Amino acid sequence: MPEAHRPLSMNSDFAADALTLPTDLTPALLAALDAQGAVWWVKDADGHYLHLNRAGHELFGIAPGEARGLTDADLLPHVQAASLRAADQGALAQERAVTGEHQIDAGGARRELSAVRIALPPGANGSRRLLGLWFDAAQLRQRSAELRTALHQLEQQQQANEALRAEIEGRGAREAEAAAARLVQREQFDEFLRREVDLSLREHREFAVVCVIVDGPPDGSPAHDAAGRERVLEALGRLLRSNTRAMDAPCRIDGERFAVLLSGVGLATAHSRMEGLRRQCATQLVPVGGEALRFTVSMGVASFPHTAQTQAGLLGAAEVALAQARERGGNRVALASIAFGGPASA
């Protein structure tokens, strides 16, 4: 006795055609696939589309309803159509779902698709049909990569929390919190900078100062509201500390401005280290209110004594370089100019 079928009674391009589907493949499931942006279709044994949902028509760049009766050979280059046809025929010979990967040129762009195919039970007249699903493989890979990054950051955050908990057990809560952030206060930063200048003059060695500021939200990131912006700044503070040594001095100067003193480091080395930090910032995901915020930074790097020979002059040179980085579009590290033929001025 043939299996019972029911007509397709959902809001679709071919609802009026009373396409029959197995009772266990409900319209609610197909509606869920539509909501996810998946392409789903039904073809006959000869490869003609009996049904293609709206996302499928958008993929091929054709108007709703135009796909009925067409084959992939009518919609795609010959080689790609032949590959899809071979996969369809292979799936019709199976009694289970078959997966695969395809690249097609549709809608004016190259698309990478993850495919699932399954042969439907024969109709009342014995006709063979094939159900297929296509998902955007590039999006799936991107989401998978973002998930791995988020999980890695969660693991890092958990380790940081455990370290903080251990410090709190041995110190007062305020002291432990400051130690966890490890950003020096502005007064301390100025004192460290003064001492580094004195040491450099006595021992004839270089050191560098970096000014840092967070750019506006990059493309693909939700907007930064006040709470989100503060979380981004906290994340930057953690990155500054984790990417500097014990003898260095990262500091949140005020508001959204940071500075880093890199002890005993020349201009080239400072640029290399800050470039690595810039790339790391650009890949960070900051979870806030169920969204993942992204951010980039601009940096200006100056060194003593090559770009300035006073404390104020050094900070000023780093600020000028920072302004140049922002004028060039942000998300970059700019170097302060080196004065040739005489001491750099303040």
194 within domain boundaries: yes
Domain count, the chain: 2
pLDDT average per 10 residues of sequence, the chain (346 residues): 37 41 61 80 94 91 92 94 94 90 84 90 86 82 72 73 69 47 86 94 94 92 90 94 93 93 94 96 88 93 92 94 96 87 43
- Which tokens is 141 given? 């890979």
Same structural domain for residues 131 and 189?
no
In DSSP notation, 207-254 reads: EEEEEEEE-SPPTTS----HHHHHHHHHHHHHHHHHTS-TT-EEEEEE
Selection from 155, 260, 171, 178 nearest residue 212 by Cα: 260
174 within domain boundaries: no
Q: Cβ contacts of residue 135 below 8 Å, gap of 6+?
A: 38, 39, 113, 114, 115
Three-point CA angle 337, 204, 336, nearest 5° = 10
Give the span between the Cα atoms of 277 and 319, in whole angstroms.
18
Same structural domain for residues 221 and 328?
yes
pLDDT at 83: 92
Same structural domain for residues 205 and 330?
yes
- What is the domain extent for residue 283? 183-335
Same structural domain for residues 326 and 194?
yes
Running DSSP on this structure, what letter comes out for residue 191? H
344 within domain boundaries: no
Same structural domain for residues 135 and 226?
no
Same structural domain for residues 119 and 188?
no
170 within domain boundaries: no
Selection from 222, 198, 212 nearest residue 277 by Cα: 212
- Which tokens is 270 given? 């400072």
**Among residues 121, 141, 161, which one ends one of the domains?**
141
- Which tokens is 73 given? 């050979």
Same structural domain for residues 67 and 126?
yes
SS (H, E, C) 317-337: HHHHHHHHHHHCCCCCEEECC
**Among residues 107, 141, 175, which one ends one of the domains?**
141
128 within domain boundaries: yes
> What is the CATH classification number for the domain harbouring 79?
3.30.450.20
pLDDT at 42: 93
pLDDT at 346: 37
149 within domain boundaries: no
pLDDT at 158: 72
